[in-house]
Amino acid sequence: MSESSAAAGASGAFGGWRRATGIAGAAIGVVAAGAAATVAVERMTVGRNMRRKARLALDSAGPYGSLRGTPGRAYADDGTELYYETDEADDPDPAAEALSPRRRRLFGLKDPAPVTVVFSHGYCLGQDCWHFQRAALRGVVRSVYWDQRSHGRSGRGVAQSRDDVPLTIDQLGRDLKAVLDAAAPEGPVVLVGHSMGGMTVMALAAQYPELIRDRVVATAFVGTSSGRLGEVDFGLPPAGVNAVRRVLPGVLKALGQRAELVERGRRATADLFAGVIKRYSFAGRDIDPAVARFAERMIESTPIDVVAEFYPAFTDHDKTEALALFARQPVLVLAGVQDLVTPSEHSEAIADLLPDAELVLVPDAGHLVMLEHPEVVTDRLADLLTRAGAVPAGATVGDHGKASNASSTAQRG
């Protein structure tokens, strides 16, 4: 290649990158309004190289996301490979089992199949977001953690990448059914879903109501919504909300089409993205930097074309009617009071339709409440599992995370 042609190619690539980053900058500028001041202060007080070294140090030192189980693979109806891991329960103590005969009453079996707790994660996350709950429940109850299509260790969605089929929450519900068929084909099940994972659970119910009636013995909806997500204001003033609603879908689509260029540029805008991620993930100022970096790393690992592909599905999501299927079982509805992504009012709306559910609103908590206040989430999950007969009443669940403070949560039992 001649020098002139090489220069022209470089100029074209650089021009394309400038256009992509220009679009990205416009979108981020709107969404990041509340985080800009924090980022500006950081820029004045800490050098960029120092921040980069700090991120590397946190990545190498933090234990978060290091827990692994027995790997397995399920296959969705379009052939997408779905990765999951199973943590088996330790051999039960006969004396402890005698303390909780509920499972035998429910299923009429002398030796019923073990209860399996299946955890579904949210948008731009992965199964590792349940790190603290997984650490606490290991050995106590059989648990399955899976990565949604195009996230984590699961394969790229075949229907989307090959056939250009729009992603829907209904598809995610069918994916969860495939994981259940592979990882827990029989026996009672407890479903736990955060954000998009909770929507996935609702989509499963809408398409497989008999499964909810016959096998699901308890459900936890964490920081999620049954619909009307198009009305969320993300904590922005009206002008900013209108701009985001008008511009963001097109911006994400454009960025998704230039994924390679955008991924190259993520490093250059790492500080700004970190501020945005922190604002929309956590509410408290004293979040452990290693936990904040862990969340940032999970979100960063989601390719921009996947971010763009999933985003439109949330506006169409409405599974309010499916909630009635959970009315006759123990249900936990939990949310951070300061969640800007799926506001706590959406959890309250779910609880209003399930009046027997336990509603837990956690003050000073944002969207990633299971990482910000792991002790509260773990405590309420443990109680749910006990009520459902998934674990014996005498079982001990590990205390992982900060010290629990009963006065820090508002509940409606």
Q: Mean pLDDT for the chain?
A: 80
CA separation for the pair 259, 265 (Å, rounded) = 10
For 164-196, what is each residue's pLDDT tens digit?
Answer: 999 999 999 999 999 999 999 999 999 999 999
- For residue 133, the one-letter residue type is Q
Where residue 264 falls among pLDDT bands split at 50, 70, 90? Answer: low
Predicted pLDDT at 276: 86
23: nearest Cα among 255, 285, 258: 255
Where residue 372 falls among pLDDT bands split at 50, 70, 90? Answer: very high
Predicted pLDDT at 304: 85
Predicted pLDDT at 239: 72
Predicted pLDDT at 291: 92
Where residue 256 falls among pLDDT bands split at 50, 70, 90? Answer: low
Q: Are strands 189-194 and 410-412 parallel, antiparallel or unpaired?
A: unpaired
Where residue 31 falls among pLDDT bands split at 50, 70, 90? Answer: very low
- In the chain, the percentage of residues whose pLDDT exceeds 90 is 57
- For residue 38, the one-letter residue type is T
Any idea which of 26-30, 294-298, 391-395 has the lowest mean pLDDT? 26-30
Q: Are strands 216-222 and 331-336 parallel, antiparallel or unpaired?
A: parallel
Where residue 284 falls among pLDDT bands split at 50, 70, 90? Answer: confident
Predicted pLDDT at 7: 41
Residue 388 CA, distance from chain mean position: 23
For 307-353, what is each residue's pLDDT tens digit?
Answer: 989 999 999 999 999 999 999 999 999 999 999 999 999 999 999 99
Residue ranges of E strands in 121-266: 142-146, 189-194, 216-222
pTM: 0.79
Who has greater pLDDT, 226 or 43?
226
- Average of per-residue pLDDT across 278-288: 91
For 394-411, what is each residue's pLDDT tens digit?
Answer: 566 765 554 333 334 566
**DSSP state, 31?**
H
Q: How many CB atoms sit inside 10 A of residue 378's CB?
A: 24
Q: Given its phi and psi angles, is residue 318 left (phi above 0), alpha (psi -120 to 50 degrees) or beta?
A: beta
pLDDT at 81 over 70: yes
